[in-house]
Amino acid sequence: MCKPSTSTYCLPPTFKDFEDAAKPFLTIASDTTKEPNEKRKASEEIGTLAAIQYNADRHGLTFSASQAAHEEFRGPHVVDLTYKTSTGAIEIKEAKGGSSSYGERNSHLHGKKVKQCTVEYTETIIDLMKGSNYKGRHPEAACAAHTGAPDGKCGDCKSAERKRRRKSGSDMSIALSLDNIEKHAVRGNYDGDCLKKPEKIEAYKIVGGKPVPV
């Protein structure tokens, strides 16, 4: 059972930075007056931050160092987060907020529907990122004219985001061919005004196209 809402922090002190980062989204996610879509997006952000905290614990990093070392992607046809280890391995983080479940999609590689928890799904997303034709309104990468503040109306910013996605897809594709990629699914859950510790749902290395638990 979580601590009363009068408590500033619900988790041990080592999770303080994670809680500070997630609190604004928790306020939205737990507000019954907010629209479902707004609550869902806030819950997704909590999941992303939980995956970053999980990585910090796993690799002995601070929360901020873990956050800086990750590449984040938003929207369809992308992984949530990637992290390159000191050995050159790539860890894909799949972030789940609240009680959200695995989704599924049609795979152009496998000719069937594949679920998020499967190797086939990961292979499909990597291939889509490698050939990304991003034209969205919220690029994360910026062109030279908009350094630090990507402009969703700028074609060069969109081009920069396409290149970023394609490079990440290419890097993951190479790592996949070398059996040097891992998939970690992490849940960021909460109870009322309290965040819960990030929870590992599953983790495996992809070896020869098969999942090997790590």
Secondary structure string (H, E, C) spanning the chain:
CCCCCCCCCCCCHHHHHHHHHHHHHHHHHCCCCCCHHHHHHHHHHHHHHHHHHHHHHHHCCCHHHHHHHEEECCCCCCCCEEEECCCCCEEEEEEEECCCCCCEEEECCCCEEEECCCHHHHHHHHHHHHCCCCCCCCCCCCCHHHCCCCCCCCHHHHHHHHHHHHHHHHHHHHHHHCCCEEEEEEEECEECCEECCCEEEEEEEEECCEEEEC
When pLDDT is cut at 50, 70 and 90, the band that residue 148 belongs to is: confident
Q: pLDDT tens digits for 95-129?
A: 999 999 999 999 999 999 999 999 999 999 999 99
pLDDT the model gives residue 162: 98
What's the predicted TM-score (pTM) here? 0.93
36-92 pLDDT per residue, tens: 999 999 999 999 999 999 999 999 999 999 999 999 999 999 999 999 999 999 999
